[in-house]
Amino acid sequence: MSTQQQAVKTSRREELLAIAAELFAQRGFRNTTVRDIADAAGILSGSLYHHFDSKESMVDEILDSFQTELFRKYEEVVSSDLGVRAKFEAIIRISFEAIHDNHSEVAIYQNDAAYLVEFDRFGYLNERNLRMRRIWVGLLEEGVRSGTFRPDLDAEVVYRFIRDTVWVAVRWYRPDGDLSAHDVAEQYLSILLDGIAARRRPIKKSG
C-alpha cells in the first residue's frame, strides 16, 4: 500500500470513528447498530468491517484515544513547577476543554462507561477512573497540607463533588453555544475556590 493510499485509509477510519462517536453520544452505545453507523456514513455494513471488526472496537478506540490525550495533559500539569492552586485550576480548565473538544467522547463515557466496564476489554476504564481520583485527590490533599485550601476539607468528598459537577456539564454544555469552555471553567473555578480559598477570586472573561 502506497503512502497516499495509507493516508486515505487513515482519514476514512477517522471519519468513521467521528460518525460513530456522534451516534453513540446521541443514541447510546447499546442502541446504536453497525448498520446505523454504516447508513450515516453512506456505505454498506459490510464495508464498515473492512475498517473495524465490531462497534465495540470502534468505541474502544474512541475512548482510549481521548483518555490517553486527556491524561497526558493532566500529567504534564502535575509534573510542572506550578503551585498547587495553579495546578488545580489547570486541571479544571483541561477538563472543560475536553468537554468542548471531545464532546461526544465525554458523553459516551458518562452514559455508557458503567455498561462497558462489564466487559474485560474495557477494564482500563476503571483503572483510569482510579488514576483520575489519585490526581485530583492528590492535589486537594497537597493544597490542604500547604495551607492553600481549608484544613477541614475532606479531599475524597470534595473530589467526588468536583468530578461529578464538572463532567456532568457535558449534558448541557454545547460547543457552539454562547459560552466558551473557558468561560464555563472560570465560572466553576470561581464558585469552587470561593468555597475553599481564603479570598474571593475574580472571574476572568474570555476575549
Q: Read off the pLDDT of residues 11-27 as tens digits, 9 standing for 90 and up.
A: 888 999 999 999 999 99
pLDDT of residue 194: 75
**What is the pLDDT of the chain when averaged over all its residues?**
90
- Which residues, in sequence order, are CB contacts of 15 under 8 Å at separation 6+? 41
67, pLDDT greater than 80? yes
Average pLDDT over residues 33-53: 92
Within 13 Å of residue 94, how many CA atoms lie on the same side as its CB?
20
Give the whole-angstrom CA distance, residue 184 versus residue 117: 30
Confidence of residue 38 (pLDDT cuts 50, 70, 90): very high
Instruction: Read off the pTM.
Output: 0.86
8, pLDDT greater than 50? no
- Position 20: which residue type? A
CA dist list (Å): 177 to 19, 62, 87, 109, 173: 21, 24, 27, 22, 7
Q: Whose CA is closest to 74, among 63, 87, 62, 64? A: 87
Q: Yes or no: say if 59 and 24 are a contact pair by the CB < 8 Å rule.
A: yes
Give the whole-angstrom CA distance, residue 32 versus residue 173: 23
Q: Read off the pLDDT of residues 172-207 as tens digits, 9 standing for 90 and up.
A: 999 999 999 999 999 999 888 875 555 555 556 565
